[in-house]
């Protein structure tokens, strides 16, 4: 535990190099089980404490704000008699079909079990659609799902690991579909589209994933989800409007989202004039922007704290032995080389990251700066994380105008996101 896994580290700990974890903080992190998360450095404890302090646990019932209601809609094993391979019936979502802000990430092609073929369906692929392995005829739909499956709801992947590229993955799920047990769903009592989009953004952020990795082993259980710190009142959440607008652009994509696009754009808390984003490059930017806003505005992390979250070597030094998103980083290196890894960009001191570094100093000194300006500093560094889905390095010449349009303050333009495309 706590990475004391060698004689040298044991000697360091015995010599005074130890971590300080107050009992009050253990209660804060895990009030029911009093479970101690695995920490490798004091920086991790400090970041987690900072994230937990302003918000309640997701499982707390609080009057006057949205409260979650979970459901395992069908069990892929016990309910197999409900399924059919025929074309009629509602599609059944399996975990591999869901990715960040994407309910059509993969489609079934052929085979069964481990031999099943599920090709990727990237945005822009003409095949992109809900392509399930199984369907459930309407006359076999369980009674408990009546009134549930006609809603837009959030689905998250049940299978999780701290060694995966991402541990918490969620997407908006359309009506007239059914989710298998590996995609538990969430709806909110007293919540609207804006509340779902804000929750989805925080859940899919790298900062939240940082905490999840310290709790999860193989399964994203309700107990773990309920222990996480989520903002519950969007009206009091810093940066919420900017975050919700970007989450709408990422989530309201596809023919099954037509009703959501229409109803959400007229609902409280969702900015108008935002267009769905199907372009892979634009989506990469939007996800990086959400990460910056969630880290800097929602949780109040500094640039150095976020750099630690992304790669502890940034602060502890090369070869620290402390890892966060190693699988994600390794994939980027394979696909893009060192320039695809944000930590390498920081250490190499490219022109764009140098500008970001100077911007973060100014933004930290000037707390009166608008959220978009304060978060610009982080997006320039985060953007490389999402190039992994693009297959090429984004042009610096294109990034400048794109970010400039994105970070226009909402008060200055009613169409501040649409300017991206």
| Neighbour tally for 261: CB within 10 Å | 17
Q: Is residue 24 domain-resident?
A: yes
Q: Is residue 238 domain-resident?
A: no
Closest CA to 133 of 187, 186, 168, 182: 182
pTM value is 0.80
In this predicted structure, the answer to whether residue 375 has a pLDDT above a threshold of 90 is no
> How far, rounded to the nearest angstrom, does the alpha carbon of residue 385 sit from its chain's CA centroid?
13
Q: What are 242-257's pLDDT values in tens digits?
A: 999 999 999 999 999 9
Identify the pLDDT of residue 357.
28
- Clarify whether residues 16 and 128 are in a common domain: no
Q: Do residues 106 and 120 touch, judged by C-beta distance below 8 A?
A: yes
Q: Give the CATH number of the domain where residue 160 resides.
A: 3.90.220.10
Question: What's the rounded Cα separation, in Å, for the pair 208 and 286?
Answer: 17
Q: What is the DSSP string of 9-33?
A: HHHHHHTT------HHHHHHH-TTT
Q: Order of strands across the sheet with 178-179?
A: 135-136, 90-93, 178-179
**Where among 229, 250, 281 does a domain terminate?**
229
Identify the pLDDT of residue 91.
98
The four Cα atoms 109, 115, 120, 126 give a dihedral, to 10 degrees, of: -10
Q: Do residues 74 and 92 touch, judged by C-beta distance below 8 A?
A: yes
Identify the pLDDT of residue 137.
96
Identify the pLDDT of residue 142.
97
Number of domains in the chain: 2
Q: Which two tokens stand for residue 128?
A: 């992109």
| Neighbour tally for 77: CB within 10 Å | 8
Q: Is residue 308 domain-resident?
A: no
- Clarify whether residues 86 and 221 are in a common domain: yes
Work out the pLDDT band at 302, boundaries 50, 70, 90.
confident
- Clarify whether residues 154 and 18 are in a common domain: no
Q: Do residues 301 and 375 touch, judged by C-beta distance below 8 A?
A: no
- Clarify whether residues 220 and 102 are in a common domain: yes
Alpha helices, DSSP H, located in 204-271: 206-212, 222-226, 240-251, 258-264
- Clarify whether residues 198 and 79 are in a common domain: yes
Q: Which two tokens stand for residue 195?
A: 């509340």
Work out the pLDDT band at 352, boundaries 50, 70, 90.
very low
| Mean of pLDDT over the chain | 79
Q: What are 98-116's pLDDT values in tens digits?
A: 999 999 999 999 999 889 9
User: Coil, strand, or helix at residue 64?
Assistant: coil
Identify the pLDDT of residue 12.
65
Q: Is residue 221 domain-resident?
A: yes
Of 37-41, 123-127, 252-256, 303-307, where does mean pLDDT reach its minimum? 37-41
- Clarify whether residues 18 and 74 are in a common domain: no
Question: What's the rounded Cα separation, in Å, for the pair 178 and 299?
Answer: 34
In this predicted structure, the answer to whether residue 270 has a pLDDT above a threshold of 80 is yes
In this predicted structure, the answer to whether residue 180 has a pLDDT above a threshold of 60 is yes
Closest CA to 197 of 122, 250, 253, 236: 250
- Clarify whether residues 72 and 181 are in a common domain: yes
| Neighbour tally for 284: CB within 10 Å | 21
Closest CA to 402 of 287, 286, 250: 286
**Where among 197, 229, 261 does a domain terminate?**
229
In this predicted model, which residue has the larger pLDDT, 81 or 316? 81
Q: What are 198-239's pLDDT values in tens digits?
A: 999 999 999 999 999 988 988 999 999 999 999 999 999 999
Q: Which residue range(s) make up the domain with 190?
A: 67-229
In this predicted structure, the answer to whether residue 342 has a pLDDT above a threshold of 60 is no
Work out the pLDDT band at 344, boundaries 50, 70, 90.
very low
Identify the pLDDT of residue 371.
54
Q: Do residues 351 and 269 touch, judged by C-beta distance below 8 A?
A: no
- Clarify whether residues 124 and 192 are in a common domain: yes
């Amino acid at each position: 535990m706590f990475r004391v896994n060698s004689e040298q580290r044991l000697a360091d700990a015995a010599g005074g190099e130890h971590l300080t974890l107050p009992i009050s903080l253990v209660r804060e992190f895990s009030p029911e089980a009093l479970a101690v998360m695995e920490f490798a450095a004091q920086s991790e404890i400090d970041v987690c404490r900072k994230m937990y302090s302003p918000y309640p646990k997701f499982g707390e019932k609080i009057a006057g704000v949205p409260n979650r209601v979970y459901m395992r809609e069908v069990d892929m094993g016990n309910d197999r008699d409900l399924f059919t391979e025929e074309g009629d019936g509602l599609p059944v979502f399996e975990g591999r079909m869901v990715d960040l802000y994407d309910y059509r990430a993969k489609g079934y092609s052929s085979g069964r079990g481990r031999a099943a073929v599920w090709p990727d369906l990237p945005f822009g692929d003409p095949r992109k659609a809900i392509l399930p392995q199984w369907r459930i005829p309407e006359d076999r739909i369980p009674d408990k799902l009546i009134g549930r499956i006609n809603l837009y709801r959030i689905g998250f992947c049940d299978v999780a690991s701290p060694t995966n590229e991402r541990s918490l993955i969620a997407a908006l799920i359309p009506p007239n579909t059914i989710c298998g047990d590996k995609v538990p769903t969430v709806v909110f009592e007293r919540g609207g589209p804006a509340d779902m989009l804000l929750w989805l953004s925080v859940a899919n952020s790298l900062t939240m994933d940082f905490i999840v990795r310290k709790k999860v082993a193989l399964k994203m259980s309700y107990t773990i989800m309920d222990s996480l710190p989520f903002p519950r009142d969007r009206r009091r959440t810093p940066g919420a409007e900017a975050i919700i607008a970007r989450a709408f652009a990422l989530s309201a994509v596809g023919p099954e989202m037509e009703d959501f696009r229409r109803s959400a754009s007229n609902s409280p808390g969702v900015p108008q004039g935002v267009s769905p984003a199907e372009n892979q490059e634009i989506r990469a930017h939007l996800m990086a922007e959400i990460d910056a806003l969630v880290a800097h505005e929602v949780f109040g992390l500094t640039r150095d704290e976020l750099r630690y979250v992304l790669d502890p070597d940034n602060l502890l030094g090369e070869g620290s032995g402390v890892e966060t998103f190693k699988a994600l980083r390794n994939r980027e290196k394979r696909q893009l080389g060192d320039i695809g890894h944000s930590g390498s960009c920081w250490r190499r001191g490219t022109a764009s990251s140098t500008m970001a570094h100077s911007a973060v100093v100014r933004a930290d000194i000037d707390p009166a700066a608008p959220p978009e300006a304060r978060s610009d500093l982080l997006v320039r560094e985060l953007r490389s994380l999402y190039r992994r889905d693009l297959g090429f390095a984004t042009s610096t010449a294109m990034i400048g105008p794109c970010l400039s349009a994105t970070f226009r303050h909402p008060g200055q333009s009613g169409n501040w996101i649409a300017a991206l495309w």
